[in-house]
Structures are given as structure tokens and as C-alpha cells.
Structure 1
Amino acid sequence: MSDKSPRQSMTKKSGKSLKEKRAAKHAKSDAKAVSAANALFHDKKR
């Protein structure tokens, strides 16, 4: 009978690590906060 245990080489790693995902999320939210602040203080276009 063949061995049915999972092999390390067969497991697929996720594209980004959890730390990278968190960093991207924080960067995105920071950029959104900055653009919102700019919209509040620099409303010359309106």
C-alpha cells in the first residue's frame, strides 16, 4: 500500500506571507486616509 501522508514538496505556499498582507493593507488604508484629508483641506476644484 502506498504512503498517503502529504509531501512537503506538493504543498503549495501562499503567494504572500501574513506580514506582507498586513503591510499592504496598512499601506492601502494610510493612502486612503491621506487622500481623504487632502479632499477636506484642498477643495479648490469644487
Structure 2
Amino acid sequence: MGDKSPKSHMTTKARSLKEKRADKHAKSAAKDHIEIIPPKGKR
């Protein structure tokens, strides 16, 4: 039988608003980044 105590879900540390915003900005920056690959010419 599972633990039904009210504090069982409180074991993980809550993240601050600052950390959440930093993660959000990092995700959006990574999504918008476009890697430029030069075309390979004939040799």
C-alpha cells in the first residue's frame, strides 16, 4: 500500500521563481538558435 501522508509529495525542493524564469529563457534561446552550416562546394 502506498504512503498516503500529506508530506510525501513535499520531498522535492521547490524551485524559486528566479530559477523557473532562467530555465524558460534558456529553453527559448536554445529554440531560436539557428546553426549556420556553410555549403560544401565542388573541389
The TM-score with structure 2 as length reference comes to: 0.47
Structure showing the higher helix proportion among its residues? 1
